[in-house]
Amino acid sequence: MTTATVPRGIGDALTDLPVGHFIGGHWTDDPTLQPVENPATGEMIAAVADADAGTGMAALNAAVAAQESWAATHPRARADLLMRAFDLLHERADRIATLITLEMGKPYAEARGEVAYGAEFLRWFAEEGVRGGGDYFRAPAGDQRIVVTRQPVGPVYAITPWNFPLAMATRKIAPALAAGCTVVLKPAPQTPLTALEFMRVLADAGLPAGVVNCVTTSNAAEVSTPIITDPRLRKLTFTGSTVVGRLLLAQASRRVLRTSMELGGNAPFVVLESADLDKAVAGAVLAKMRNTGQACVSANRFLVHESLAADFGDRLAAELSRLPVGDGLAPSTRVGPLIDSAAVDRVEGLVRDAAERGAQVRTCAEIGSGPGYFVAPAVLTGVDPESRVWREEIFGPVAPIRTFADTEQALAAANDSEAGLVGYVYGENLGETMRFAEGLQTGMCGVNTGIISEVAAPFGGVKASGLGREGGSAGLDEYLEVKYIGVAL
């Protein structure tokens, strides 16, 4: 990955920040504030409004009031708005990328990449939204005609995580707007600044009042529960942990809400005997270290053929040791901080548990005693399959490795998880590699590639990793209801 020079200072990015809720096309002025912290320094960089249940309901009221007129807006007008927002995101990429790095910690070069990736959802769904879809045909018996059309689901509640604060918002809001749905967005409390800045982008692009609303809060349950249980809400979309996803699904079931759930992962990264080791190591670095390992698609469990395992482990450790760790605003940084102190405690606990069960820990960087929430990249070998680091999603720069003797053994180990979001497999024997990919119990698979996310592809998992798909043409379908009209002639 190339480094990027930060073009402006921190003060420039934090100047004229929107810090209130965005409801009904207006910014609120709230007396109750919550701090926003820079995970690289532990310092507070801003304070934003802290919503209560009443604020959340005001946002839902605004979305409901705007739903009928937005659904009636013709698709080309909705697409034009998304394209104006696409252009504005690129015009403001420096500022937004700096905000992402400040509040989330990822290296600035990755933050710039997130802005470009997030913007692509606006362009993709602007194009998808005008293509339409439906059917008209004669019923098999009789003179009746069957008309099949699609209509907006209705008001949407979108809950986004902290690890991709722009891209996860655009991945939900863009298809909702293209389909004719209004939205209430609740970003993660750790990263509200990017979401609020995106609201300003939408407003400047000409978004009608109430079509997208945003509330920031430190008490998700207090704000979310009344919204989810309100009969006027028609869809819930959430990206986050499986634990929280299960709770939200239970709430949504009472109202029989449409749901899209992109939940936790535990991605296997499998290196078959036929793999090209140069490709596999390079792919492992990409799949493991993107966003300092804080991504649901991060490689979590490394399964390497026993003939390649020692060399693979040595080379992966060497590559990780070359990645500079530090503040994401430093141009050379490749590994940023974790999101907060609780994340550091959890990752360090996973490594300790593995070591106590016999794993060999090879630390691949030196972390100083200064401020910030940093964890040294590490490679673990000889990992017990019952170790927490093997069974749980790591969300950090730690690579546990186990070996296997044959592909059947590897496939069984790879599928031995309740998660089923993504997997990776490397091998030069195309038939064997493709059969392995097809046998993985995951919603997505990367074959000889460590990067799987693509705007034009359906993103989502199976088993406990979620329901529905985001991106691709399937991403628009999530916000549309299929309606059948029978016509007697």
Helix (H) or strand (E) holding 35: strand 33-38
* Two tokens, residue 85: 């927002």
Using a 10 angstrom Cβ sphere, with 0-12 exposed, 13-18 middle and 19 or more buried, the burial of residue 138 is exposed
* Two tokens, residue 42: 């532990």
Q: In what order do the strands lie in the sheet with 135-138?
A: 135-138, 145-152, 480-487
Report the candidate in 243, 160, 219, 186 with the shortest Cα–Cα distance to residue 465: 243
Q: How far, in Å, CA of 316 to CA of 378, rounded?
A: 10
Report the candidate in 424, 323, 418, 333 with the shortest Cα–Cα distance to residue 377: 323
Q: What share of the chain is helix, strand, coil (3-state, %, to 5)?
A: 40, 20, 40
Catalytic positions are 262, 296
Q: Dump the DSSP string for 430-467.
A: HHHHHHHHHHS-SSEEEES-S----TTS-B--EETTEE
Report the candidate in 408, 453, 454, 393 with the shortest Cα–Cα distance to residue 268: 393
| Backbone torsions φ then ψ of 338, nearest 5 degrees | -75, 170
User: 99 — alpha (psi -120 to 50), left (phi > 0) or beta?
Assistant: alpha
* Two tokens, residue 324: 């500079």
Q: Are 448 and 423 in contact, with CB atoms under 8 Å apart?
A: no
Q: Are 465 and 310 in contact, with CB atoms under 8 Å apart?
A: no
Q: How far, in Å, CA of 298 to CA of 314, rounded?
A: 20
Report the candidate in 290, 380, 297, 372 with the shortest Cα–Cα distance to residue 335: 290
Q: Are 394 and 433 in contact, with CB atoms under 8 Å apart?
A: no
68: helix, strand or coil: helix
